[in-house]
Chains A and B, each alone.
Chain A
Amino acid sequence: MNTVPSSTFFSAPPDWGWLIVFYFFFGGLAGGCYFLAVLIDFFGRDEDRPLARLGYYISFPCILISGLLLTLDLQRPLRFWHMLIESNTYRPIFKYWSPMSVGSWALLLFGIFALLSFLGALVEDNRLAWPAGRKIRPPTMLGRMIGLIGGIFGFYVAGYTGVLLAVTNRPIWSDTPLLGMLFVVSAASISAALMILLAQRSRWTMPGLVALHRIDTWVVALEFLVLIGVMISLGPVFRAWLNAWGLLLFFGVIVVGMLIPLALYWRREWLGDRNVTTAATLVLVGGFILRLLIVFSAQGV
């Protein structure tokens, strides 16, 4: 180890494994779907409301799963509350400079907003008899406030994981400041893809769905550009990907998860009815591989 491209190559891997990969995926879906649902609520039309509700229906279970995955990943899961409360003083602990500390609070608070929006969606769908529940759905002022604040937390939950990785001393993770941006954009792309898939399954044809297709196309294109930015910003550390991980990055993330879906979104006639569903599925697969690759490749260096 006489020549190394970065001083980050002397740190030890934290052994974050599959639980964290799945957390990054479900956390991205939770934040991203909520973010998109709020945009639909705020800027869509009345006929798009089922699409917004779909976003909230995805978001809450995903954030529940996320909390469970994170707790299970702790070496001492019963001490999960130490993330929020100092165990020897019983006072809240909050370190604004530690993404894991802020993220723990954000997960808790986002969970509350995701639950409220989830309940509001159930009431609007007449699946829950709770008259006051209508007040927590836009366009009421309370509903808009919940959407706005929840949307901000949603964005945070979708992106903070990338910043958390950057605020370490591991190779790759801490050698670029762009992982947070990549995770935010990727969260939007996989969330739009999942919402498209589920809406297609229900054979919905509301205009908001067309907008969602176009958003996913734009976001996947943006994600591609950000990923290129990540690779450039890594500089000499990029050589850590000149192996099997690089092949997975190229074929799994770029070709399968970005280029083929972009081509399918643009060329609607290629697979006929299955064009959009195939593209959305590949975006989800690519988004998962991206997280897997970033989590594992930096720990194998």
Chain B
Amino acid sequence: MPEPMGFYTDTTVCIGCKACEVACKEWNQLPSTNGGLNTLSGDSYDNTRKLDGIHWRHVKFIEQFTEDRKDGRWLLMSDVCKHCVNAPCLEVCPTGAIVRTEFDTVVIQSDTCNGCRDCISACPFGVIETNPVSGIAQKCTLCYDRLQVGMEPACSKACPTDSIQFGTIKELRETANQRVAQLQKAGESRAYLYGADEKMLGGLNSFYLLVDKPEVYGLPPDPKMPTRNLASGSWFSLLGAVLVGLMGVINFRNRGARVEGREEQP
């Protein structure tokens, strides 16, 4: 059994070249345009805008500038499926299309998915969307086909600055912790790891080094499992049914007496 594999993304060395996006599309044969639609965002170098069914990698461009634009910085982050250890998408998928692989990654089987889209609303990171070409929910597979033959995923292979690193989770966490210590020693006290431990959905097998709050990068500060509401929601529903049932029993049993007493007619 192989060790759990994943990505460690050091956002501080991302230069926004989008080689990862291109490599991903090329290897996975994803369309470069959405149904012939090739629109520019108009206000950013980021024309991909979000992860979806045909964009499995997305380099986010976050501008942090003062009003007069004399001071500022770019935050760049190559976003991807987090391959959560406790994966919300896998949890809710009714068809069994979403599976955990031998590499501890999360993959949607394209021949099983029927496009119900439950996984889309379950993913707290907004990673999954429908691929308009195939009509099914799709996302990063962490290049499952390449992993099976001992190859590195296309995106990390293409990354020129090693912002995206691929390896075993154990090794990646060691590397990431050393990098955080290095940055903090150099004065970047804001550096921290997002999703590198079990506290967040059992651990993200694609985790990040960030230098600002998660929300700034479009990441949820406290992602949760969708089933957190299952028990309470079910009990409240049952309570609703009991109350409606009681109302029915009381009224259908008493209506004869009330009709006579009040001469009530429909």
Contacts and interface: CB of A to CB of B under 8 A. Distances in A.
B97 interface: yes
A100 B94 contact: yes
A207 B219 CA distance: 59
Interface string A278-297: 00000000000000000000
Given A11-B125, A181-B240, A87 B226 contact: no
A87 B95 contact: yes
A180 B233 contact: yes
Contacts of A166: 229-230, 233
Interface string A2-38: 1110011111111110000000000000000001100
Interface string B195-229: 00000000000000000010110111111101111
B248 A39 contact: yes
Interface in B239-266: 239-241, 243-245, 247-249, 251-256, 258-259, 264-266
B75 to A, nearest CB: 12
A235 to B, nearest CB: 14
A208 B113 CA distance: 47
Contacts of B111: 87-88
Interface stretch (B19-27, B114-122, B143-151): B114-122
B234 interface: yes
A212 B111 CA distance: 49
Contacts of A140: none
B96 interface: yes
Contacts of B226: 167-169, 174
Given A75-B115, A181-B236, A219-B244, A200 B266 contact: yes
Contacts of B252: 39-40, 43-44, 48, 208, 211, 215
A246 interface: no
Contacts of B121: 11-14, 16, 168-170, 173
Given A3-B215, A185-B240, A208 B255 contact: yes
A254 interface: no
Nearest to B248: A39
B126 interface: yes
Interface in B109-147: 109, 111-118, 120-130, 135-136
Interface stretch (A57-65, A155-163, A236-244): A155-163
A122 interface: no
A86 B96 contact: yes
A287 to B, nearest CB: 14
B93 interface: yes
A79 interface: yes
Contacts of A212: 251
Nearest to A177: B232
B88 interface: yes
A174 B135 contact: no
Contacts of B52: 12
Given A7-B224, A8-B124, A162-B237, A215 B247 contact: yes
Contacts of B265: 205, 210
Interface in B27-64: 50, 52
16 contacts: A10-B125, A11-B120, A12-B50, A14-B118, A44-B252, A97-B227, A162-B233, A163-B234, A166-B233, A167-B226, A178-B236, A180-B237, A181-B233, A210-B255, A214-B258, A219-B244
Interface of B: 50, 52, 88, 91-97, 109, 111-118, 120-130, 135-136, 213, 215-216, 218-224, 226-230, 232-234, 236-237, 239-241, 243-245, 247-249, 251-256, 258-259, 264-266
Interface of A: 1-4, 7-16, 35-36, 39-40, 43-45, 48, 73-77, 79-80, 82-83, 86-88, 93, 95, 97-101, 104, 155, 158-160, 162-164, 166-170, 173-174, 177-185, 188, 196, 199-200, 204-205, 207-215, 218-219, 222, 226, 276
